[in-house]
Chains A and B, each alone.
Chain A
């Protein structure tokens, strides 16, 4: 099984014994409730699936694991930048062909009554810009694309 995590893609194939799953010395006891066992200590876990993502609350951390469909394209993010929420584009700070560095502001969006900067995650060149100042965007809309 493969998941997208905050730390990249991870494969896991836990051993199974009844309703207990094992991996790297940790045990997950599955039932109406979930108990994680590490070094002989049990910890209550809460988990729920939303679309393809398992949200897991474990030991004070809330973690997300997005299931990667078997047979889905193996390529990672194509460098595109998407709107984190619905809102309005207030400013476009780059032009097509411009080279940018990780951390450079690319656009300013307004949502939830506040302004948010869309910031580049890596160095690259702006290949296309899909929205202009004043446009409304839906959540997940691709705003612009960057070359790697």
Chain B
């Protein structure tokens, strides 16, 4: 049993973990940068401690400072959340070396899954299907020799690479030689290593991931899939479970493969195995995320398992509490970003002068902000995750639409309307969600479907508000902290 946990994170996920700690009767310690003083997560903690320094490297990524705070405050464990230090094997090792419990898999498992090549080799050895491909270290001639066995279209990738450098899609044998030369040149320039890798290019695929959970008593289970195909700028915006593309048979096969992947690295705690699923129902290992994921709530809603609570239980040396897998109904999560979808999804900033989330049956909001909070460029622009559950996918989409219509955020531009229109889009309704969907549907950018009657009504409201000085009188009579300053009175215009 854990007694006191330091949460090495901030915002929405820190709130989620601190609440789980409270429910598990574990004391939760928050750490925060100076510019996060007063943030919601610091209020949910039993103790909140300010980090010294400025910027991410000196604060939320400062391993030594975080471990020192944990020890000085008699913590027995550290939960890393997601992002920040959650997939840093050196941090996991340092936590363990200081005598604390790391709430996550072993540093060895993080290393094995963190390196793409090692992960691929480990998975292949464990019998988990990987994308058909061949690693080439014999130069151009060998690339030309293995290409036919991989098949077209194919993808050339730098073995040492990342970030798209040294990556080339080849649709036709005629272009292979020139593209291979270019990829090798790019790889050499970028990484000092011209080895490339030939892999089949899987077009029109879905991004589907399997949640796994493993305890110290040899039990490794899967909790079904999450479909995360709708992405913009390679970031997920809309996730659901179950997936329309998965039947019971495929779920069992993918679940088995995911459990085999976890067992191959002696995985412990909560993790996610990502797969590409082709239109013909073939599936291939992509990578394993060795942490809790942003979209974990959809799995919680359909399985009834509290994943963060299970993480705490497993790290404390108890057996996981879940019974056999039982998927019930349908859950959808959308990510509310401070961004302008009509302007290439550019991040936005502002102050959340009004923040009125929806309520009602089957609606869950995971957020780290509340009304009055500023949205600054210092951190991730995700404001909240809105999750709904309903008996069927159709009802879940309708419920999400209803909830998004109710959601009022004024003072900072958000993607609420974009998410709302997604819920009605025929491709989404019919389940034709692929990773290239947003670019495919809106190649020239998205714009809201705004009826002129609503635009005109808004204009009328603005004029009526301006004429009546709307909001000013209420603020004064309610005696809130927003009482008008003499300066705002000075500049007030009288009609």
CB contacts (< 8 Å) of B381 on chain A: these are 112
Contact of A46 among B356, B414, B474 (CB under 8 A): B356
Q: How far is the CB of B68 from chain A (nearest CB, A)?
A: 26
Q: Mark A98-110, 1 if CB is under 8 A from B, else 0.
A: 0000000000000
Within 8 A of A (CB), among B22-50: none
Within 8 A of A (CB), among B430-468: 448, 450, 453-468
A65–B474 Cα gap in the complex (Å)? Answer: 21
Contact of A28 among B347, B353, B461 (CB under 8 A): B461
A125 located at the interface, meaning its Cβ lies under 8 Å from any Cβ of chain B in the complex: no
CB contacts (< 8 Å) of B347 on chain A: these are 84-85, 111-112, 114, 116
Q: Is there contact, CB below 8 Å, between B464 and A28?
A: yes
User: Which residue of B has the minimal Cβ distance to A116?
Assistant: B346
Q: Which one of A49-57, A72-80, A89-97, A127-135 is at the interface?
A: A49-57
Q: Is there contact, CB below 8 Å, between A65 and B470?
A: no
CB contacts (< 8 Å) of A48 on chain B: these are 353-354, 410-411, 471
Q: Is there contact, CB below 8 Å, between A10 and B233?
A: no
Q: Mark A110-126, 1 if CB is under 8 A from B, else 0.
A: 01111011010000000
User: Which residue of B has the minimal Cβ distance to A121?
Assistant: B343
A30–B461 Cα gap in the complex (Å)? Answer: 9
CB contacts (< 8 Å) of A46 on chain B: these are 354, 356, 408, 410
CB contacts (< 8 Å) of B427 on chain A: these are none
A148–B340 Cα gap in the complex (Å)? Answer: 25
A12-B459, A21-B463, A36-B461 in contact; A57/B450 too (CB < 8 A)? no
Q: How far is the CB of B47 from chain A (nearest CB, A)?
A: 28
Tally of contact residues, A, Cβ under 8 A? 52
Q: How far is the CB of B277 from chain A (nearest CB, A)?
A: 28
A14-B460, A34-B470 in contact; A61/B233 too (CB < 8 A)? no
Q: Is there contact, CB below 8 Å, between B346 and A84?
A: yes
A116–B349 Cα gap in the complex (Å)? Answer: 14
User: Which residue of B has the minimal Cβ distance to A66?
Assistant: B462
Within 8 A of A (CB), among B381-420: 381, 404-405, 408-411, 413-414, 416-417, 420
Q: Is there contact, CB below 8 Å, between A113 and B461?
A: no
Q: Mark B452-492, 1 if CB is under 8 A from A, else 0.
A: 01111111111111111011011000000000000000000
A121–B470 Cα gap in the complex (Å)? Answer: 34
Contact of B470 among A14, A47, A50 (CB under 8 A): A47
B351 located at the interface, meaning its Cβ lies under 8 Å from any Cβ of chain A in the complex: yes
A7–B464 Cα gap in the complex (Å)? Answer: 19
B348 located at the interface, meaning its Cβ lies under 8 Å from any Cβ of chain A in the complex: yes
A61-B450, A112-B381 in contact; A47/B457 too (CB < 8 A)? no
By CB atoms of chain A within 10 A, which of B347, B351, B356, B474 has the most?
B347
A84–B347 Cα gap in the complex (Å)? Answer: 8
CB contacts (< 8 Å) of B127 on chain A: these are none
A73–B379 Cα gap in the complex (Å)? Answer: 37
A112-B380, A116-B347 in contact; A62/B409 too (CB < 8 A)? yes
Q: A47-B461, A54-B466, A119-B344 are in contact. List 19 more A-B contacts (CB 8 A).
A: A3-B462, A5-B459, A12-B459, A23-B459, A28-B464, A32-B474, A34-B465, A34-B470, A38-B453, A48-B353, A54-B461, A55-B353, A61-B458, A63-B458, A85-B349, A111-B347, A112-B378, A116-B344, A116-B346
12 A–B contact pairs at CB < 8 A? A26-B456, A36-B457, A36-B460, A46-B408, A46-B410, A49-B466, A55-B353, A62-B410, A67-B462, A67-B466, A116-B347, A119-B344
* Interface residues in chain B, defined as those with a beta carbon under 8 Å from any beta carbon in chain A: 233, 340, 342-344, 346-351, 353-354, 356, 377-381, 404-405, 408-411, 413-414, 416-417, 420, 448, 450, 453-468, 470-471, 473-474
Which 8 residue pairs are nearest across A and B when measured between Cβ atoms? Answer: A65-B462, A60-B405, A55-B410, A21-B464, A54-B462, A63-B458, A28-B464, A23-B460
